[in-house]
Chains A and B, each alone.
Chain A
Amino acid sequence: MVRKRHSVLLRFLALGIGIGLHLGGCVNEPGPVGSGLIPRSDLLQGDSLDIIPSQSRSILVIPDTVNSLRTTIAVGKKGAYEAWGLVLFTNFGSAYDSIAVQTAELRLKTSFHLGDSLGQFSLAVRKALATWTRSTFAYTNLREPGFYEEPARSTHDFGSIGDTADITIALDTALVNSWFRSDTTNPNYGIVLEPINSSVIKGFLNPQLVITYIPSGSSDADTVTFTPAIGNYGFVLGGVDTLALQDSVLLHVRAGAASRAVMQFDISGLPAYSAIHRALLEIWADESLFDRSSNMQDSLMATFRDELGFIPRFEALSSVSGSGSAKLYTLNLTPFVQYWVQNIGIPEIGIRARNERNGIEAFMLHGTAAIEPLKPRLRILYTSTRQ
């Protein structure tokens, strides 16, 4: 009797093992069977909404300091634009305290140009007389009386410069000697590179100060090269038409001397709790009105805004199509609108050049005051999830 009961239990144990194996063979892959019974209202159907910004305007800003480090110096003139360079060499190290500089050169590597790349290029070297900070310094600050020394320490005429040429600028040794001395009455604010007699703006990388000096206890000259800290060189751009910012039809987006476009959107037409599948902002532009230095990429960036202002790292990069007067920039604002429908952030975006600090660029974008076909449009594909 006991043995038989044992036998029955073992059979069921085997059945349990079989069931376990059967369940172990399950896969979790849904299929279409039964889909005909699903109410259509259960599915996301997708709807579309086009929104023209309720307002658009241009604003003048200090070039972006977050997304692009200033790594270039630009000097020169092109039309109304003029670029002035600034360089400050400091922190040479105690080994060079009070050395006697024999020769001093500023070496620059050509990187980009705006205008005729082989145009005439000349510059003057001036001593800066006041402090400057890369993140706040603008052309108007430069032109304030007393910012730089009169007259210029030296002028240099280079004629034409090749697109990848290195140039060498001989610096006043008395000036450079003063940088190696701690003289509080003659502080080191660096030098200003002023464009003169130029028909092109040239951009440069890797500024270097090369000096020769006689080390103590030696009769032979030695050569040493210094590079400035990242924050200690750059350029400012003048000749920008600031009145253009009042333009109600065209939005002025610039790099170099930065200006941005701001667009506001009224998203009340979107149902609450909408699932945003895609939101593309289309902006038309007239390419014939553009200026762009040779190092710039043809793209715009949109920046998200919250209560504290624009968030530099929350951005969308445009794609571009068309050309001439029918150039179209498309920005994918899907994440932006996803936040807006949840009342996160402010439905307003900033539009800027991709690299505001290291080149010169001017976009002319059609704003909300443009004729109907050229108005910017935010095309949204969404589904209301409230059923």
Chain B
Amino acid sequence: MNRQILFLAVLATLLTRPVLAGGPVYTRFGVGDLLFFGSNRVQGMGISGYALTGDGFINLANPAALAKLSLTRFAGGFEYWSSSLEDNAGSQRFATGRFQSLAMGIPVADSAGISLVVSATPYSTVDYDVRIVSATGGAQAEQTLTGTGGLSTLTIGGSFRPSRDLAVGLQYVYYYGTIHRRLAVDFDDVAFADTEVRTAAFHKGSGFTLGMTYTGLGSLLGNPSLPLTLGIVFTTPASLSVKEERLLLTENTADTTQVRRGTTRLPAGWGLGITYDASHIIVSGDIGVQHWTSANFFEPPSVEVRNNLKAGVGIEIPGKRNPVTYWDRVAYRAGFAYTASYLAINGRGIDSWAVSGGIALPIGPDARMSVGLTAGKRGTMNLGLSQETFFKLSLSIDASEAWFITIEED
């Protein structure tokens, strides 16, 4: 075993090349890249989770999916993301690690499907770092543009099962986060004063997510034994107040007096998913749309905005119900996702596709460590655009605890 560890460590070291803590310039626009995180399970299955239910995970994609929780459950994870961006100027690698989610689900009345959930997840990310050499006022200057931050969500919600097949859920979503941008101008000629402009746009606002799952779809289709689940999710628009502070730095002065206020209006969205859940295999498919053409940005993105669409399909081989070996308890996942982002630049939509896979490894009586891998491409090198090849490794841990369970005494 020690030799295996040594081998992997050496391999990782040899594969290590200098990469940049930054990201694709596409995150410059709007509120940045949208992160669709339902859970590590949903990620591994091609981001298809609207109709994905089960007791063993917290599904953040659809609040109604929590109705099946029987034990208090905790989940948390992070991801390592690496990409290579290529355009006519060359190619560059980026890498970063980031928090993925933290969630707790509490079953309050198991029989009625009443559960509560609180969670924190990133909603979008801004992460770019670009250097441009240009003549500024007749002097050669290097301008470095950097963006970091993004929006996150804090949610609190619950589920309720009014009938055997139908569950509904409602989530209050608090959006918050800061998008930092920095422009540093460094003149070659020392006679010119270098300048730096930093902006920090603080966002906050709230909205709701409504969801339902219906497990009687087979009956509606005339085959009650068909284990089909329908999931529908609707996200309300959310108006975020924005306060932007702009700091101008020169070699002699710092000015903090520039403050702007405004709003960013996140659009409504809906999603539809279907899951086929046989005991030995689970297949799930999703489609989701956000009406970004109705959105309002504090800082207009200066490129075409269109509606966002994501579609995914995934498969899971769950662990065996009567395992003999450790590996009988491991779940395997795979999926494919296609996303048409809300951006179109130079007349071309910025689309991406990704394949994903993952495994869920039992690490306790009712605890799992899920590892997901996603690889894909985004954009194109045509029309002056950039193409991104990305790779993502996500790691999360789910565990449960018997809270609020009444144990009857003899």
Contact = CB atoms under 8 A, between A and B. Distances in A.
Interface stretch (B57-65, B249-257, B312-320, B334-342): B249-257
A339 B193 CA distance: 13
Contacts of A4: 325-327
Contacts of B24: 34
A36 B87 contact: yes
Nearest to A336: B252
A344 B253 contact: yes
Q: Interface residues of B: mostly helix, strand, loop or mixed?
A: strand
B90 A33 contact: yes
A276 B185 CA distance: 11
Interface in B3-17: 4-5, 8-9, 11-13, 15-17
Given A5-B326, A381-B138, A25 B16 contact: yes
A42 interface: yes
B25 A39 contact: no
Interface in A299-353: 332, 334-335, 338-339, 342, 344
Interface in B266-306: 302-303
A21 B9 contact: yes
A22 interface: yes
B4 A383 contact: no
B146 A30 contact: yes
B386 interface: yes
A13 interface: yes
A382 B185 CA distance: 12
Interface string B355-380: 00000011100000101000000000
Contacts of A382: 137
Nearest to B303: A39
B304 to A, nearest CB: 13
Contacts of A28: 20-21, 129
Interface stretch (A43-51, A169-177, A235-243, A283-291): A43-51
A21 B19 CA distance: 12
14 contacts: A1-B326, A5-B362, A8-B361, A18-B8, A18-B15, A22-B82, A26-B20, A33-B89, A34-B89, A34-B386, A38-B25, A39-B303, A278-B192, A385-B246
Interface of A: 1, 4-5, 7-15, 17-19, 21-39, 41-48, 273, 275-278, 332, 334-335, 338-339, 342, 344, 381-383, 385-386
Interface of B: 1, 4-5, 8-9, 11-13, 15-22, 24-26, 28, 80, 82, 85-92, 95, 97, 128-139, 141, 143-146, 183, 185, 187, 191-193, 195, 197, 246, 248, 250-253, 255, 257-258, 302-303, 325-327, 345, 361-363, 369, 371, 384-386, 393, 395
Given A7-B1, A37-B28, A46-B137, 10 more contacts: A10-B5, A11-B5, A18-B12, A28-B20, A34-B89, A37-B384, A43-B132, A277-B137, A277-B139, A334-B193
